[in-house]
């Protein structure tokens, strides 16, 4: 079994200005460059700043990602952006199924699934987010919800495409709240996701799949989370807007060595 390369994403959400986005990207490029050989680092700025941020990242090895995409290739879809447009400006990863798109914007499993298939087809990396709400967790439904979202996303996705996917487990109650899942609780869900992928596909596919944790990851809790055997990095919101904090999290992730044969 090969070691899984850790991956850290910086999801800037609807924050920054053109100037602050470029400046933050420059900081990330400088501080994360040395880690990109051992950890995949991707930042997800707002759409209008993608090109400028891509230029600021230069040859640092930090990759450029988009926070969303539409599944149609072109045409009368006012306000939407296609995979080809993203590729055209140097984007190589897309977040799909984020809880804010599910619960604030109202995207359902069917739409997310159409976007996911189109994004894989375009040879972009998919960061596919799954996670339960507080109500669902308290009702003991965490596994059912997470595995249901996973199953819906993976429908019609062949094993050969899983190298192009990262699963982000993001409990909704932990996003932007300062409330992080305990490393043990997060690990339990990550292990459950990996087991489900093994039974849907096979052990080799499941062992090579990267599963990130997201939800109030900060510089001071990253190492305990990343020490868990099935946590292969993080999707970072708030802390990714602070270049120094983000670089510390990337440094912690670059030390992970999970998935190697025992
Ligand atoms: P947070 O966001 O780190 O601010 O909790 C995580 C995310 O939404 O991906």
Residue nearest to atom 6 of ligand 1 (CA): 237
CB 21 within 8 A of CB 54: no
CA dist list (Å): 147 to 9, 58, 87, 189, 205? 22, 38, 30, 9, 17
Residue nearest to atom 7 of ligand 1 (CA): 237
pLDDT of residue 262: 38
Q: Of all helices (H) and strands (E), which one includes residue 7?
A: strand 7-11
| Pocket lining: 175 vs ligand 1, CB cutoff 6 Å | yes
With vertex at residue 204, the alpha carbon angle to CA 2 and CA 253, rounded to the nearest 5 degrees, is 45
* Active-site residue list: 98, 170
How many other C-beta atoms can be found within 10 angstroms of the C-beta atom of residue 131?
28
**What pLDDT band is residue 257 in, cutting at 50, 70 and 90?**
confident
Name, in order, each residue with C-beta under 8 angstroms of 98's C-beta and a sequence gap of 6 or more: 11, 67, 68, 129, 170
Nearest C-alpha neighbor of 189 from the set 177, 176, 205, 173: 173
With vertex at residue 225, the alpha carbon angle to CA 204 and CA 237, rounded to the nearest 5 degrees, is 100
Query: Of ligand 1's atoms, which has the minimum distance to the CA of residue 218?
Result: 3
pLDDT of residue 176: 84
pLDDT at 70 over 80: yes
Q: Of all helices (H) and strands (E), which one includes residue 222?
A: helix 222-226
Task: Give, for ligand 1, the residue of 11, 93, 127, 173 to mutate: max count of ligand atoms closer than 8 Å to Cβ.
Answer: 11
User: 8 φ, ψ to 5°?
Assistant: -120, 130
**What pLDDT band is residue 1 in, cutting at 50, 70 and 90?**
low
Calculate how far, in angstroms, residue 43's C-alpha sits from the geometric centre of ligand 1: 13
Q: Which domains does the chain have, with CATH numbers?
A: 2-260 (3.20.20.70)
pLDDT tens profile 71-93: 999 999 999 999 999 999 999 99
Residue nearest to atom 1 of ligand 1 (CA): 237
Task: Give, for ligand 1, the residue of 9, 131, 238 to mutate: max count of ligand atoms closer than 8 Å to Cβ.
Answer: 238
**What pLDDT band is residue 260 in, cutting at 50, 70 and 90?**
low
CB 56 within 8 A of CB 26: yes
CA dist list (Å): 3 to 73, 106, 186, 191, 216? 35, 37, 20, 16, 26
Q: Of all helices (H) and strands (E), which one includes residue 30?
A: helix 18-32
Dist. CA 195–CA 222, nearest whole Å: 24
pLDDT of residue 258: 87
CA dist list (Å): 170 to 97, 195, 216? 10, 18, 9
| Pocket lining: 214 vs ligand 1, CB cutoff 6 Å | yes
pLDDT of residue 127: 98
- Provide the token pair at 80: 């939407």
């Amino acid at each position: 079994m090969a070691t899984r390369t850790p991956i850290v994403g910086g999801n800037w959400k609807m924050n920054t200005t053109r100037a602050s986005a470029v400046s933050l990207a420059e900081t990330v490029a400088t501080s994360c460059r040395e880690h990109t050989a051992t950890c995949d680092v991707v930042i997800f700025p707002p759409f209008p700043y993608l090109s400028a941020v891509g230029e600021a990242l230069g040859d640092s090895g930090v990759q450029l990602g988009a926070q969303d995409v539409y599944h149609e290739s072109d045409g009368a879809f006012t306000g939407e952006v296609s995979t080809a447009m993203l590729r055209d400006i140097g984007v190589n990863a897309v977040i799909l199924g984020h809880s804010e798109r599910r619960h604030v914007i109202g995207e359902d499993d069917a739409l997310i699934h159409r976007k996911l298939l189109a994004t894989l087809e375009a040879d972009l990396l998919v960061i596919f987010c799954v996670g339960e709400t507080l109500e669902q967790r308290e009702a003991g439904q965490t596994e059912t919800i997470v595995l249901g979202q996973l199953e819906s996303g993976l429908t019609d996705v062949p094993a050969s495409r899983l190298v192009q996917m990262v699963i982000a487990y993001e409990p909704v109650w932990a996003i932007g709240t300062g409330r992080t899942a305990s490393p043990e609780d997060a690990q339990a869900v990550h292990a459950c996701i990996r087991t489900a992928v093994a039974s849907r596909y096979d052990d080799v596919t499941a062992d090579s799949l990267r599963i990130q944790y997201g939800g109030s990851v900060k510089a001071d809790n990253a190492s305990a989370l990343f020490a868990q055997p099935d946590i292969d990095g993080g999707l970072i919101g708030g802390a990714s807007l602070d270049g120094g904090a983000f670089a510390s999290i990337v440094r912690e992730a670059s030390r992970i060595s999970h998935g190697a044969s025992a």
